[in-house]
Structures are given as C-alpha cells and as structure tokens.
Structure 1
Amino acid sequence: MEKAFLIYPDRCIACRACQVACKQWNQLPAESTVNWGSYENPPGLSFHTYTQIHFHELKTEQGIEWLFLKRQCYHCTDAACMLVCPTAAIEKTPEGVVVLHQEKCIGCKYCVYLCPFEVPQFDQASRKVSKCNFCYERISMGLIPVCAQVCPVAAIRFGDRNELLQQAKSSGSGYKYIYGEREVGGLHVMFALKFPPEKYGLVAHPKVSNALFWWRRLCPPLFGAGIGFALLGVTVRLFRRKISCREESKEEASSL
C-alpha cells in the first residue's frame, strides 16, 4: 500500500513545528542564519535541514495573502535521483518512499543536479548528500512521520495515497489544483491548492529527462568499459550548466 502526505497550505500557520520536530527526530544541528529580508528561517533546504516552510506573498483583490509551502523531498514515483545513482544508495520502498542510504553515497552529486525540485543537498565536508527519508523508520513501525504528528492544525495529512486523493477531490473541498497526482509519475507528497502551483513557488511542470531512462536501460552493460559513466557525465554536465545559468540570472535580477 502506497503512503503519502496530503498537505493543505491554506491551513498552515507557519508555526514551523514540523521543522523543529524534523531536526529533533533526525538529530540535525541548528544552523546559523542572518536576516535576509524574509520571515523564512532557514532560507532553504540544506544538508542539515530536511524540511522548510517557504513564505510567499500573493497580491489579491482583498490585499496581500500569505501562502505557506512545506518544502521537502516529494518522493517521486519516477525518481530521477534513484535512476542516476551509480551505487544504489537511493531506493524506493513498496510504500513509495524514496530512501537515501547515506553510507552508500559516494558524493558524485548526480542526484543533486538532476532532481527537478532541487531537493538533495551536498555537504562539502563529509562528501555526502542528504534529504528527507519520509521518517521511513517510523512508517515501518506503524507510526506516522514526525512532522505530521506535531502539526497543530492538521495541515499535513498522512495515509493511503489513493484515499488522500479521494478526500482532496471530494465535492465541496474547494481546491482547484491537486499538485502531485500525476507530476513525475505521481508524488507521495501532494498539495491541495486554491491557486496555481507556481503561486506557491512549486515547479509548474516538473520533468525528468528522457535521456535518464535510456541511460538506465542501455548504459549498465557498458559500465565495465566506463562508457556508461562517461555518457552520464555528459548529461550531468549539461544540467549543471543549465542550473548555473539559472543561478546567475537570479543573482543579476536581485542586484537590479
């Protein structure tokens, strides 16, 4: 049975109890931050931050409305990170959870460059990557993920994926968009939205390159000759260049 989150951003009060609980359960250290002009803290995901509440302002006829979005690994059905990992450090469980086994990670950063949501975070000191594992050790014991357990307004619902989808689509729910139903083969972290996904800072049309699927099928037999890794390296280099250009554009825009 596939498990999932159904998150209701309109219920979120940005208390960030989920952030604190995630830190405590995973024994992650606090991070030193600075005032960068936003109520968000920390400013994004990192090697030591698996989930983060993103603040977004939306101008409406009634004035400014705050939109809060829980950022984390979305546990894609067609997980690019799992497809490109050369050491099988990332696996997908029967529940649909994409689990990272950090002890197998060699720091190649293929998952970092090819994730359509820019979720995996690389640590220069340890040469490892980290991300949310959906509290899989809790799920395997019949418990719910800690962030869902501590949410004081039930903005994070955990359960059977199909049942959660039915709830979101039920008549009178008032939600125009169910993000994650089909994106990247179907996400296991879904959102019931009243506005278009991009208004919350979500990727409107996330895609996994078709080249990755061909690489997965054709290249493993060639690994002995090193050709498979060479082809993957070219693909990663192209994605790195694309990401670098995007970051440079952001820096230029912020300096205007």
Structure 2
Amino acid sequence: MAGPNSLYGPLDPAPDAGYLDPPPRMGFFTDTSVCIGCKACEVACKEWNLVPDDGFNLLGTSYDNTGGLTANSWRHVAFIEQPVAGSGHGTDVPGAFEGLPAGPSASAHTAVVAAGTGQDTGTTPGVPPAPDALAAAGTQFLGMPMSDLPGRTIDAPRSDFRWLMMSNVCKHCTHAACLDVCPTGSLFRTEFGTVVVQEDICNGCGYCIPACPYGVIDQRKDDGRAWKCTLCYDRIGDGLTPACAKACPTESIQFGELEELRGRAAHRLEKLHEQGVAEARLYGHDPNDGVGGDGAFFLLLDEPEVYGLPPDPVVTTRDLKAMWKRAGLAALAMAATAVVSFAGRRS
C-alpha cells in the first residue's frame, strides 16, 4: 500500500503491487448532479462484460429495477425520491411543504389547450412542456420536469420532491481489503491501480465479500464465484473508454487519469456552490480517508447515507498487521514461559 511518503504519492497503489514503471492511475468520477437515471451505463456494462440479467424482477417500490450492486449488476443506478422544502434541503418535517406549489397545475394546462395554442404544457405524463405555452399560462418554465439542479433555490418550487440519481460502482480502493483476504490471488491490482477479479482462479470462498467496506462484491448463486466491476480492464488496456462511461449521454460518468479527475471534480464542486447548491459534496476523493481514497469517487447532492454509502468507510484489514504482530509477541511470550517452566522443573 502506498503511504503518504511514497515516491509515487498516496494515490497510486500500483508500485506497491510490483509494477516498476506503471502508467498513470485511472479511475471514474461520477457526477450525480447530471445523472438522468437512464441506466445506459448498466446496459453497456452488461453487454460488454457479458453479465447475466438479474431476472427482470420489478421491486415494486421504485423505478429502479436492479436495487443494488450484485454479481449480475456491476453498475447500479439508484433512484432516490426525496422530499424538499424551500432551498431544496431534504426534510421529513411534517407540513414542511404546506403552501408550496406542486408544478404546473391542471387548470393551467387546460387553459393553454383551451386557448387554442395546440401545445401541451407537459402536465400529461411523458409529454415535454412547451415553454411558450407555459409562459402564456403564467407558469415559469425551467426545462424538463425535475431537470433543474436539485437543491437550487428558485422563486416558485415546481414540486415538493426531487429525484436523486446515482450510478454506483466498485470503488477500486487504494487500500483494498478484498486483496488482503483473497487466498488464491484471484483478486489482483492492475498496472492502472484498479482491482480485478480473475474468475478462473476464484474458488468461491467468499472472504472478499465481508471484507469490502462498501458491500460491492457478490457471489453468483449458480457457481459461488465473486464478481464485480473490472473498470473494463480489457478496454483501458487498449486505450479505450470503459463501456459505462462511453454510453453515458450526460457525461455523468467520467473516465480518465485519477489526478486530473480530482481537479475536474473540485472545479465542478466550486461551480455548484456558486450556483447555490450548498449540499453538493465530494465522496471518496480524500487520500486520507479510511481507504486511502477511491479510484471511483462521486459528487453527491446529499449525505452519503442517503445514497446507501457508508459515511466513514474504513478498510476492514486496517489492523491486520498490528494483530499479527501482537499474536506473534503473545506466541513468543508463551514459548518463553514454557521454556522457563520446563527448565525450572529439571533443576
């Protein structure tokens, strides 16, 4: 594991994995503020990596049909319907939305159509609003429904809830506990600093699953082997963009050199704060966090827990060396005690 005083810095674990002249560390920056929940990344991942389907079981509680990262979902787009009030802060305070308008009303829609404009205002599900028609009805047009930046303060909030969407993926941790516990070497660090599972070597022991602080790794029921995102190791080795980032229509998923992505993310965060989105924050970008920083990090619009992410992830094998050291000292002490006891009996 690369430490703070490493020649390569704290964000490049490849040299510690034995690579003498590794290329720059590659990774993902996922900007959730521009994710539209299209799930193109999920489909592209499955198509390129030949990941099986999930059974097409609708969850019944959300538009999200996959539910989470699994052995058969290496990318997962979460749909989070969250109440908002005033400036857009999440709240569950009773009555917080009392008196707030809930978007273009049916009466406004009826008035526009009745006026003979021939345009639909967008109150009909699936039909985009017409700006001119809304203006004629005295309704402020802010783009597609719920398209304005979540959290931005506007004169007349269009709805009492907002969608938070996030394309989740393996974090490719700097200090990866899954690597520490794998007994077969199935999990390995690539020259790009990413973490990959070799399915032909995995014996299905499952040690990596509880070791992951993010709950990313999963086993397939039919063979018991572990599977997760490879950051398209086969593609980036040929200079190609990972399938999910290539398919993303809004560039919510951005791929590149990790250091450059971190600079880009900091700039994006600054711009959002200037625009009044005070809730925006970066997650997984800090090399001093409990996993040494992530190779796949995120810009979030609320607390990590809202997205199902641990607020303070810690590599689960952090204390492993100290534990072995203490165990060794205890063994030596026991051996010394036995020798002294045996010598005392002989005398």
Q: TM-score, normalised by structure 2?
A: 0.60
- Of 171-180 and 98-107, more deviation after overlay is shown by 171-180
Aligned-pair CA distance for 1:37: 1.2
Runs of 4+ in structure 1 off by over 6 angstroms are 215-219
Corresponding residue for residue 314 of structure 2: 207
1:51 to 75, 82, 98: 75
> Unaligned 5+ residue runs, structure 1?
220-256
Give the 3 Å change call, closer, same or farther, for CA 30–3 of structure 1 in structure 2: same
Corresponding residue for residue 66 of structure 2: 42
1:187 to 274, 294, 310: 294
Query: What CA deviation, in whole Å up to 9, does each residue of 1:51-77 have, x standing for no partner?
Result: 111111222215211111112211001
1:155 to 241, 246, 252: 252
Aligned residues: 219
1:24 to 36, 47, 64: 47
**Which protein has the bigger helix share?**
1
Q: Percent identity?
A: 36
Q: Is the 8 A contact 2:66 2:76 kept in 1?
A: yes
1:128 to 202, 217, 225: 225
Q: Is the 8 A contact 1:81 1:114 kept in 2?
A: yes
1:172 to 250, 268, 271: 271
Higher Rg: 2
Q: Is the 8 A contact 2:164 2:301 kept in 1?
A: no
- Of 15-24 and 93-102, more deviation after overlay is shown by 93-102
**Which protein has the bigger strand share?**
1
1:1-256 matches, cutoff 5 A: 1-32=24-55, 33-61=57-85, 62=157, 63-170=160-267, 171-174=270-273, 176-182=280-286, 183=289, 184-209=291-316, 210-214=318-322
Tell me, in whole angstroms, the C-alpha distance in 2 between the residues paired with 1:216 and 1:99: 26
Tell me, in whole angstroms, the C-alpha distance in 1 between the residues paired with 2:212 and 2:184: 17
Give the 3 Å change call, closer, same or farther, for CA 97–46 of structure 1 in structure 2: same
Residue type at the aligned position of 1:186 = G
> Unaligned 5+ residue runs, structure 2?
1-23, 86-156, 328-347
Query: What CA deviation, in whole Å up to 9, does each residue of 1:122-171 have, x standing for no partner?
Result: 12321211111000100000001000001111111111111111111124
Q: In angstroms, what is the RMSD of aligned CA positions?
A: 1.9
Give the 3 Å change call, closer, same or farther, for CA 215–21 of structure 1 in structure 2: farther
Aligned-pair CA distance for 1:196: 2.4
